[in-house]
């Protein structure tokens, strides 16, 4: 393992030195690969392209990020930005605002969730293109090539900013791809509300119990937070929304919100292209403000409860509230 860490450190140093002019590009890519982007960006775009694909994206994002959290607790992966300092290595590398995540590093959550979510999206695109251009089979492979490029770029960006070692990125991408293939075929569209309530609070409770069990075994699960706080160059780069319990509450909140949205409007709203585009624009603005909504960081329990509630709102806003309002006004316009 030490050899993998050393190799990864050299690779990060080489990337920062040789691709310095592409720094802004890598920072944009790492933000695109952030798990929260799957909920706030990929989900609304995919939902207004295809309701089933959108639901699949939210479903896959929540389950894959939850599993990533559990794997991180069990695998204890180091992160380059603190490992380099702990080992007193004399190499010239730079930290960034996105570097200082506080959870363990293996597997990469960015790579894992990106691979899982975007496989669902690009598979749907490939299937759509294949139906429209049956004589041009090569065209259907374009989305898969884009998928490889995107996942690779996200992985490189994580190495570049010192958030992950290469083997953590590869492990996350492979695991995410498997989850995308498996979970993308099992979308819970027709499930009752009690299924989502049970799943949401079941995943929340099971993660808390796993955490408590590991703590009782003498395993200190706060070790990564201590190292992150110690070696991050700027204190303001340490954010509570990057902690493991933040991702847990995001996943469970989104699943509960998905159940509520499907319960309130099982088939969605029938919208033509124009109203759908308008719904996407308004939903995106709404999600931007939901994301930017400041939350009190103390006490932490209050923060996590409010963070949970924030993501409960996301699916109903995109699937029910905004499309419903657009349907109401466009229907009245056509009637008049």
Which residues does 202 contact at the CB level (< 8 Å), separation at least 6? Answer: none
Which residues does 154 contact at the CB level (< 8 Å), separation at least 6? Answer: 29, 30, 32, 33, 110, 111, 114
52 is in an annotated binding site: no
- The per-residue DSSP string of 237-253 comes to G--GGGSHHHHHHHHHH
Decide if 259 contacts 197 (C-beta within 8 A): yes
Of 31, 110, 130, 289, catalytic: 110
CA distances from 136 to 132, 140, 148, 229 (A): 9, 8, 21, 54
**What are phi and psi for residue 325, nearest 5 degrees?**
-65, -45
Q: Is 31 a catalytic residue?
A: no
Q: Calculate helix-pair angle for 51-75, 166-183, nearest 10 degrees.
A: 140
Q: Is 263 a catalytic residue?
A: no
Of 130, 164, 263, 327, catalytic: 164
Residues in the chain: 336
Residues annotated within the binding site are 79, 158
Would you list which residues are annotated within the binding site for substrate? 79, 158
Q: Give the residue numbers annotated as catalytic, written as ranges.
A: 110, 164
């Amino acid at each position: 393992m030490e050899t993998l860490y050393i190799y990864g450190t050299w690779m990060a140093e080489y990337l920062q030195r040789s691709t310095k002019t592409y720094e802004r590009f890598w920072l944009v890519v790492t933000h695109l690969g952030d798990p929260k982007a799957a909920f706030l960006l990929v989900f609304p775009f995919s939902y207004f392209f295809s309701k089933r694909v959108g639901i699949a994206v939210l479903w896959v994002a929540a389950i894959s990020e939850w599993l990533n959290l559990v794997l991180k607790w069990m695998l204890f992966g180091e992160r380059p930005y603190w490992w380099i300092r702990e080992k007193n290595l004399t190499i010239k590398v730079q930290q960034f605002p996105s570097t200082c995540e506080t959870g363990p590093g293996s597997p990469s959550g960015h790579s894992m969730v990106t691979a899982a979510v975007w496989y669902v999206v690009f598979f749907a695109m490939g299937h759509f293109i294949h139906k429209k251009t049956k004589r041009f089979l090569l065209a259907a492979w374009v989305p898969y090539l884009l998928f490889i490029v995107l996942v690779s770029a996200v992985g490189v960006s994580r190495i570049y900013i010192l958030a992950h070692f290469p083997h953590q990125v590869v492990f996350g991408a492979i695991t995410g791809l498997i989850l995308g293939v498996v979970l993308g075929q099992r979308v819970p569209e027709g499930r009752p509300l009690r299924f989502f309530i049970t799943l949401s609070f079941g995943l929340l409770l099971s993660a808390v119990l796993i955490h408590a069990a590991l703590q009782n075994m003498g395993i200190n699960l706060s070790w990564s937070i201590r190292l992150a706080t110690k070696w991050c160059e700027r204190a303001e780069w340490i954010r509570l929304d990057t902690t493991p319990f933040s991702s847990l509450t995001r996943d469970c909140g989104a699943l509960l919100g998905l159940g509520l949205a499907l319960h309130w409007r099982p088939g969605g709203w029938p919208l033509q292209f124009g109203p759908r585009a308008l719904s996407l624009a308004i939903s995106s603005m709404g999600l931007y403000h939901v994301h930017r909504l400041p939350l009190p960081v103390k006490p932490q329990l209050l923060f996590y409860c409010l963070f949970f509630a924030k993501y409960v709102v996301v699916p109903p806003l995109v699937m029910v509230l905004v499309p419903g309002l657009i349907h109401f006004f466009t229907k009245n316009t056509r009637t008049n």
